Structure 1
Amino acid sequence: MEKWFVTMKKADFNGIAARYHISPILARLIRNRDVVEDAQIEKYLNGTLSDLHDGMQMKDMDRAVEILREKIGKHARIRVIGDYDIDGVNASYILQDGLSGLGADVDTDIPDRIRDGFGLNRMLIDKALEDGIDTIITCDNGIAARDEISYGKEQGLTIIVTDHHEIPYLETEEGRQYQLPPADAVVDPHRPDCGYPFSGLCGAAVAYKLVEALYRAMEADLSRIGRLMEHVAIATVGDVMDLCGENRIFVKAGLEMLKHTQNEGLKALIECTGVPVERLSAYHIGFVLGPCINASGRLDTAKRALALLNAKDPEEAARLAEELKELNDSRKELTEQGVERAVEMIEQSSLKEDRVLVVYLPDCHESIAGIIAGRIRERYYRPVFVLTSAEEGVKGSGRSIENYHMFEEMCRCRELFTKFGGHKLAAGLSMKEEHVDEFRRRINELATLTEEDLTEKVSIDMQLPIAYLSQKLVEELERLEPFGKGNTKPLFAEKNLRVISPRILGKNQNVLKFQVEDARGLRMDAVYFGDVRACMEYMGQKKRMSFTYYPTVNEYMGRRSLQITVVNYR
Structure 2
Amino acid sequence: MEKVWKIISEKAEGMSIVENILHSKGITEKEEIEEFLSDKPQKTYDPFIIKNMTEAVGRIIYHINKRSKIIIVGDYDVDGVTATALLLQFFEAITKNIDYYIPNRFTEGYGLNLEAIKYMKEEMKADLIITVDNGISSVKEVDYAKELGLEVIITDHHNPPEILPNCLVIDVKQQEDNYPFKELCGCGVAFKLAQAIQKTLGLPKSTISRLLDLVTLGTICDIVPLIDENRTFIKYGLKRVNKNKRLGLSILRQVVGLKDKEITSGRIGFVLGPCFNAAGRLEDAKYGVELLLSNDISQATKLAQYLYKLNRERKLVQESGEGYCKDIVEKNYMNNDFLVVRADNISEGVIGIVAGKIKDTFYKPTLVVTKSDEGHLKGSGRSISGINIYEEMKTCSDIFLGFGGHEMACGFSIEEDKLDELRSRLDFRAKRIKKENPDIFVPKLNIMTQISPDEFTIELINDIAKLEPYGMGNPKPLFMINNIRVDKTKTKGCGAKGKHLKFVGKSNNIVLDGIGFSLTERYRRVGEPQSLNLVFSVDINEWNGNIKPQMIIEDFKKAQN
What is the TM-score with the length of structure 2 in the denominator? 0.95
Does the CA contact (< 8 Å) of 2:35 and 2:41 recur in 1? no
2:440 partner SS: coil
Match of 1:265 among 248, 257, 279: 248
Partner of 1:543 in structure 2?
A: 530
Q: Is the 1:355–1:449 Cα contact (8 Å) retained in structure 2?
A: no
Q: Which residue of 1 aligns with 2:446?
A: 459
Q: Trace 1:130-279 onto structure 2 (pairs within 5 A).
A: 130=122, 131-168=124-161, 178-183=162-167, 185-279=168-262
Please say if residues 56 and 153 of structure 2, whose CA atoms lie closer than 8 Å, have aligned partners that are also in contact. Answer: yes
Paired with 1:115 and 1:516, the residues of 2 have a C-alpha distance of 54
Corresponding residue number in structure 1 for 2:82 = 90
Within 5 Å, which residues of 2 pair with 1:383-422?
A: 383-392=365-374, 393-422=376-405
CA distance in 1, matches of 2:290, 2:268: 19
Query: Can you give the 5+ residue segments of structure 1 that lack an aligned partner in the other structure?
Result: 18-23, 169-177
Does residue 505 of structure 1 match 2:502? no
- Aligned AA (2:87): L
Say yes or no: does 1:5 pair with 2:6: yes
Using the alignment, how far apart are the partners of 1:322 and 1:446 within structure 2? Answer: 46
Q: CA deviation at 1:445?
A: 1.5
**Alpha-carbon displacement from aligned partner over 1:498-522 (angstroms, at most 9, x marks no partner):** 111211122442321122222x332
Q: How does 1:553-568 map to 2 (within 5 A)?
A: 553-568=540-555
For 1:7, give the aligned amino acid.
Answer: I
Query: Which of these residues, 471, 482, 485, is aligned with residue 484 of structure 1?
Result: 471
Paired with 2:10 and 2:387, the residues of 1 have a C-alpha distance of: 25
Are 2:34 and 1:42 equivalent residues in the alignment? yes
Structure-1 separation of matches of 2:527 and 2:550? 18
Residue 60 of structure 2 aligns with which residue? Answer: 68
Contact 1:102–1:220 (CA<8 Å) still a contact in 2? no
CA RMSD of aligned residues (A): 1.5
2:24 equivalent to 1:32: yes
Confirm or deny: 8 A CA contact 2:485 2:532 kept in the other structure.
yes
The alpha-carbon deviation at position 266 of structure 1 amounts to 1.1
Code of the residue aligned with 2:355 in structure 1: it is A
Work out which of the residue numbers 326, 340, 349 in structure 1 matches 2:309: 326
Question: CA contact under 8 A between 2:359 and 2:365: conserved in structure 1?
Answer: yes
- Residue 51 of structure 1 and its aligned partner are, at CA, apart by 2.4
Contact 1:386 1:396 in 2 (8 A): yes
CA distance in 1, matches of 2:548, 2:20: 25
Q: 1:128 aligns with which of 106, 120, 125?
A: 120
Aligned partners of 2:75, 2:10: CA distance in 1, in Å? Answer: 40
Asked whether the 8 Å contact 1:90–1:231 carries over to 2, the reply is: yes
> How far does residue 366 in structure 1 lie from its aligned partner after superposition?
0.5
Cα distance in 1 for partners of 2:43, 2:288 equals 31
d(CA) in 1 for partners of 2:158, 2:47: 17
- Change in 2 beyond 3 A, CA 1:13/1:216: farther
CA distance in 2, matches of 1:419, 1:524: 53
How far apart, CA to CA, are the structure 1 residues paired with 2:425 and 2:536? 40
Secondary structure, in 3 states, of the residue corresponding to 1:50?
coil
After the TM superposition, which parts of structure 1 deviate over 6 Å for at least 4 consecutive aligned residues?
A: none
2:510 corresponds to which of 515, 522, 525 = 522
Q: CA separation in 1, counterparts of 2:75 and 2:397?
A: 23
Aligned partner (choices 106, 112, 115) of residue 107 of structure 2: 115
Equivalent residue for 1:306?
Answer: 289
Equivalent-residue separation in structure 2 for 1:158 and 1:68 (angstroms): 10
Corresponding residue SS for 1:307: helix
Give distance in 2, aligned partners of 1:441 and 1:62.
46
Deviations 1:170-219 (A, max 9, x none): xxxxxxxx322111x21101112110010100000110111111011011
SS at match of 2:187: helix
Q: Deviations over 1:331-377 (max 9, x none)?
A: 1000011000001111111x111110000001210110000001001
Note if contact 1:9-1:31 (Cα within 8 Å) is conserved in structure 2: no
Q: Partner amino acid for 2:503? A: F
Distance in 2 of aligned mates of 1:562 and 1:8: 22
Residue 469 of structure 1, CA deviation: 1.4
SS at match of 1:84: coil
Question: For residues 144 and 26 of structure 2, what CA distance do their matches in structure 1 show?
Answer: 45
Aligned pairs (5 A) from 1:49-64: 50-64=42-56
Letter in 1 for 2:532: M
Q: Distance in 2 between matches of 1:331 and 1:565?
A: 26
TM-superposed CA distance for 1:388, in Å, is: 0.4
Deviations 1:381-407 (A, max 9, x none): 110000001022000100000111001
Bigger shift: residues 308-317 or 77-86:
308-317
Corresponding residue SS for 1:449: helix
Counterpart-to-counterpart distance in 1, 2:519 and 2:422: 33
Query: Counterparts of 1:300 and 1:359 in 2: how far apart (Å)?
Result: 24
Q: Distance in 2 between matches of 1:507 and 1:339?
A: 19
CA deviation digits over 1:430-472, x for unaligned, max 9?
0111111111011111223323111001111001111111111
Identity of aligned residues (%): 33
Q: TM-score w.r.t. structure 1 length?
A: 0.94
User: In the TM superposition, what is the alpha-carbon distance from 1:273 to its structure 2 partner?
Assistant: 0.4
Distance 1:148 1:280 in 2: 40
- The count of residues paired between Structure 1 and Structure 2 equals 548
CA distance in 2, matches of 1:550, 1:287: 17
1:291-328 alpha-carbon deviations (Å, 9 max, x no partner): 00000011001011111112221011001111111111
